Chain A
Amino acid sequence: MTPINLEKETRTGWLVSCKQAALLVSLSFERRLSLREFIVMRLHLCLCKTCSFYRAQISVLRKVFIRHEELLDNVPPLEQDRLSLQAKERIRGALGRKG
């Protein structure tokens, strides 16, 4: 099994499938696309509403993830996101032995 060949996947002409377009969209969040890749992606996005939604979704996720520390600072944790009482006890014990 050969690994995904990005060159091959994205070099099948100017019009590509949604699958190939989505790969280019993901790539565009990681590195600068080549001119050809960029044109192929834009062309597909112009023609395809759902891939535009995909791109918008990835962009929202990135924005949300990057600011996740605001959640930690501002929103109290759900019960399952707190240390359990047992864990607190255990950690206090470990700190006591050390400190």
Chain B
Amino acid sequence: MQSPLAPKPLKASLSDPATWVDQHGDYLFRYAMMRLRNKDLAENMVQETFLAAITGKNSFSGRSTERTWMVGILKHKIIDHYRRDFREKTVTDLQGQQNDEEQTIDSFYDAAGDPRKFPKDWMPEPEALLHNKEFWETLQHCMGKLPQNTAHAFAMRELDDKDTGEICKELGITPTNLWVMLHRARLQLRECLERNWFDLKK
């Protein structure tokens, strides 16, 4: 039985699709760019999201905002894309990638296991970084230097905050594969950010 206090089901309706590009286009594009780092791909994802929104407009319940609902669609499309990229890899490709990850990790250290470049104190101010678009530009530039699949896995972990088990299941990789990829991504990102951001800002 419905409590009299329960909110009435909203009569949900979406705004006119002709206005979507202006309302949500840039937002969805930036969201996709952070995760795909490829302009053409991100544009396509935005278009596909809008088309899927038209097809599925009856499933919009009005419980979330129109934009949040669209971001949800986009998220799924991006993960489908990640999954395809991973599934397309042959066993040999994956072995090659694993070797590449390990060689890259090795390259940051000398034979004794000491870092070739010692991490510095960034004296970080997360709040300031968070709202600094040039920092994000640098970050995206650095993520763009990662191999595609490594960047995908890293984005799922850090941007989407998915847990390890879920990522392994989605991408069909083992936890050890994933941990090594994430570790490589972190070593490479921290090095790139230090060189291109923190060293320059001091």
Task: List residues of A whose CB falls within 8 A of some B CB.
Answer: 1, 3-4, 6, 16-20, 22-23, 26-27, 29-31, 50-51, 53-54, 56-58, 60-68, 70-72, 74-78, 81-84, 87-88, 90-92, 94-96, 98-99
Task: Known A53-B119, A74-B131, A95-B54; judge A68-B34 contact (CB<8 A).
Answer: yes
Q: Are B113 and A53 in contact (CB under 8 A)?
A: no
Q: Are B47 and A91 in contact (CB under 8 A)?
A: yes
Contact with A along B2-40 (1 / 0, CB 8 A): 000000000000000110111001110111011000000
The residue in chain B whose Cβ has the minimal distance to the Cβ of A88 is B21
Q: Is B43 an interface residue (CB 8 A)?
A: yes
Q: Which A residues touch B149, using CB under 8 A? A: none
Given contacts A23-B183, A75-B133, contact A57 B30 (CB under 8 A): no
In contact, B119 and A57 (Cβ under 8 angstroms): yes
Beyond contacts A22-B187, A87-B46, A92-B18: 10 other A-B pairs, Cβ-Cβ < 8 A, are: A4-B105, A23-B105, A56-B122, A57-B119, A57-B190, A61-B190, A68-B130, A74-B131, A94-B50, A98-B54
